[in-house]
Structure 1
Amino acid sequence: MIDAGTTPTLVVGLGCQRGCPVETLRALLDRTLSTHRFERAQIRALASIDLKREEPALLALAAELEVPLGCFSSQQLAPYASQLSHRSVMAYEHTGCYGVAESAALALAEHLGQRPPKLLVPRQKCPQATLALACAG
């Protein structure tokens, strides 16, 4: 976890099924933030795979939070495979990477931060979506 005196800047990695409602993503995010004692104000950006660049729920959540949505190709996410808490064969078959939420969070955190990214909250799951939190250094 993070030292009590620091306030990390969060990147939220998200993966979801096509047509996933924004309410589902918001509920997963709010539950994760509450459980791990983070605030919405700490979120700097959302991240996902480029296949989801136009996904309405991701765009709606980014707009609601007033943060950008960064998207990465499966090739850009591949280097983070060794840092994943879980490797999903199903995710790989659909996207070309073993874990969208964690990989995307780490990729964008590395892009935004000045130190190596750190996965703060590993993959959280609900039936239609996954979410992970990384620190942007």
Structure 2
Amino acid sequence: MNSGPILVVGLGCQRGCLASTLRALLDQALLAHGIALDQVRALASIDLKRDEPGLLELAEQLALPLTCFSAEQLADYRERLSHRSEIAFERTGCYGVAESAALALADKLGTTPATLLIPRLSGPMSTLALALAL
């Protein structure tokens, strides 16, 4: 495994969101922050999206693992979010899928507590956040 910072992309999306829509949001976010795609180590989301075709297709295209967490696991990150969405909570049981999932996976993969490098960004039918751990 390559050493250095661990960058994890958290993704949330509505049903039927296309991989191309998620990829466009990802590319835009990375470009804006001067981050190369090959620095991203993994993708994360909520287990409600485990079978979401667009997410699975994106993970396959990028050859990155997709890890999904339960709402209970993600709810623990409530205090660390930059944005808490009541709508997300009503629909999923956590206050923000993209940020929570990114933090959860970066925490799991890293040895330091994860921080949000890119707070929640919204795109068409999708949200993205990028977490960093060492």
TM-score (norm 1): 0.93
Output the amino acid matched with 1:79.
Answer: D
2:47 is the alignment partner of 1:50: yes
* C-alpha distance in 1 between matches for 2:62 and 2:8: 12
Alignment-derived partner of residue 27 in structure 1: 24
Task: Choose the corresponding residue for 1:84, options 72, 81, 102.
Answer: 81
Q: 2:60 is matched with which residue?
A: 63
Task: Report the 3-state secondary structure (helix = DSSP H, G, I; strand = E; otherwise coil) of the residue aligned with 1:86.
Answer: coil
Structure 1's consecutive aligned runs of 4 or more residues displaced over 2 angstroms after TM superposition are none
Residue type of the partner of 2:83?
H
Name the amino acid aligned to 1:22. A
Aligned equivalents of 1:9, 1:39: Cα separation in 2: 13
Give unpaired runs (5+ residues) of structure 1. Answer: 1-6
After superposition, give the CA deviation of every residue in 1:72-99 in whole Å (9 maximum; x if it has no partner).
0010011110011111111111100000
CA distance in 1, matches of 2:122, 2:41: 21
Deviation of the 1:136 alpha carbon: 3.0
**Identity fraction in percent:** 64
**Cα deviation 1:12-70 (Å, max 9, x = unaligned):** 00000000011100000000000000010011100000000010111111111111000
The alignment's C-alpha RMSD in Å is 0.9
Give distance in 2, aligned partners of 1:93 and 1:78: 12
Q: Aligned partners of 1:36 and 1:19: how far apart in 2?
A: 28
Alignment of 1:1-137 (within 5 A): 8-137=5-134
Query: Take 2:6 and 2:106, find their aligned partners in 1: how far apart are those partners?
Result: 9
The AA in structure 1 aligned to 2:74 is L
Residue 118 of structure 1: CA displacement? Answer: 1.1
Q: How many residues align?
A: 131
Gaps of 5+ in 2: none
